[in-house]
Amino acid sequence: MTRMQTLVVGWEPPSEHARKQWSSDGQRGITAVELPIAIAIIAVLIGLLLPAVQKVREAANRAGCNTNLRQIFTAENDFHKQHGVFSNSLVELGLGDRFPNNQNGGYEFSLDLANTDGSAFHARGAAAIPGVTGDADCSINEAGQVLCSPNPMADRNRDQMFAKIRSDAAAEIGRLFSQTPVDVRKLATQVGDTNPILVFRKFDVDGDGSVRPSEIFTFRDDNTGALGNLLPAVQRDMAIGTAGEDIELLPAVKLAQFRSMVRSSESLDVNFTDGSSKLITAGDSVLPAVQLTGFCDGSVRPVGFGVGFGRGVLNGNSQISYDFKQAQFFTDLRPVGADGGPVLPDGGQVLQGAYAIADPLGNTTHGVLIALLRKQVGDSLRNEKMFDTLVIATDGTGFFHFVGGTGFATINWGDQPDGPFKASLNVTPFSLAR
């Protein structure tokens, strides 16, 4: 058994046909073993590893900003001893090479004189992209007083960055779905049974017990090509290298830090009580892009006691269950590929997109959906659009903070996608116990 195969519990050796499977363009197809491995790696990457990377990145860049401000302070004092006044130029202070274009370590620096006689100065370091290259803005004055405050745009920009990463990941997983026959329910179980630590060690190329950003973005151990497509897109989404940021200097995520990111809740169960879908684009494909919006009830265990619209109760296993009602659900599902996406040999089609669930208390959870149209059999389904859907939950807030993992959903549009729909969704969290 190879290192790659041990990532997925209960893997089955590929058949002779699978080993020799080729796509229509002459390239080797994806086997039944490679598919869950690739998806499990992507799920852990976007749900656990990249948030950990971003957390240590922001902290390190903020610390680097403070170090740079201290250097400016020292240079200003040396300049004042020689000239009797402070300077408002980094070049004049001899720091031009350290701050090309007034930038260093993901921050942009400015230097101003606080009065007309040059007896005071104010140096400032601001995150070049708040929430992406840094989370705070800092300053120092002639007295050496350093002040830092959170940037008000950081949370929004960070959310937008991870939303783009989720969208890119959904598109890439959807592409994998379209290249090989998939039993979505079985696949969801296989992906969910993956131990995240095994994925962490896969990215830990040098085996030092930590993963550096450079190890992630130069990762090559993937036979499907999915990560070869996704990782460059993620690097662009995260704007790695902006404003003098050096990827080689970004700190590594240690195994202990990664463990702390692993979710420990039991599950998320959602049933939709009301909702509608509408076409986003028209076309000749089996199903055009659609937008789903709806209300749903459900529970997540164990996270604590709720109030108001939700409630906390003890279940039969003496664990805490948070029940919620009338949560809002949103997603845009789009066909994989151009021209409405490829139609699979059995007449199915793959849709993909990011989703969000928010309950009345403001608790939220996000993730991606990869929906595979079931094969239509005779007249018994009356042309109903039935989708088996892989769910990857990547992050949450409040009572949904621990909802990170993978699961399965069913979506039924009836006989047309533009109208009411029925659905149910379940997520089992990432767990070190598996």
Burial class, 281, CB count within 10 angstroms (exposed 0-12 / middle 13-18 / buried 19+): exposed
Distance (Å, rounded) from C-alpha 81 to C-alpha 130? 36
Residue 417's pLDDT band, with cuts at 50, 70 and 90, is low
Q: Is the pLDDT of residue 21 over 50?
A: no
Q: Is the pLDDT of residue 304 over 50?
A: no
Tell me, what's the pLDDT at 371?
92
Distance (Å, rounded) from C-alpha 12 to C-alpha 377? 28
Q: Average pLDDT, stretch 251-268? A: 81
Query: What digits encode the pLDDT tens for the residues 105-131?
Result: 999 999 999 898 999 999 999 999 999
234 versus 381: the higher-pLDDT residue is 234
Backbone angles phi, psi at 327, to 5 degrees: -75, 150
- Strand-pairing partners, residue 277, are 292, 419
Distance (Å, rounded) from C-alpha 210 to C-alpha 56? 12
Backbone angles phi, psi at 363, to 5 degrees: -70, 135
pTM value is 0.85
Sorted by where each begins, the domain ranges of the chain are 21-179+200-259, 267-429
Distance (Å, rounded) from C-alpha 109 to C-alpha 126? 6
Q: Is the pLDDT of residue 237 over 80?
A: yes
Tell me, what's the pLDDT at 263?
56
Q: Average pLDDT, stretch 372-392? A: 72
Distance (Å, rounded) from C-alpha 278 to C-alpha 421? 10
Backbone angles phi, psi at 114, to 5 degrees: -80, -15
**Which of left, alpha, beta for 131 (phi over 0: left; psi -120 to 50: alpha)?**
left
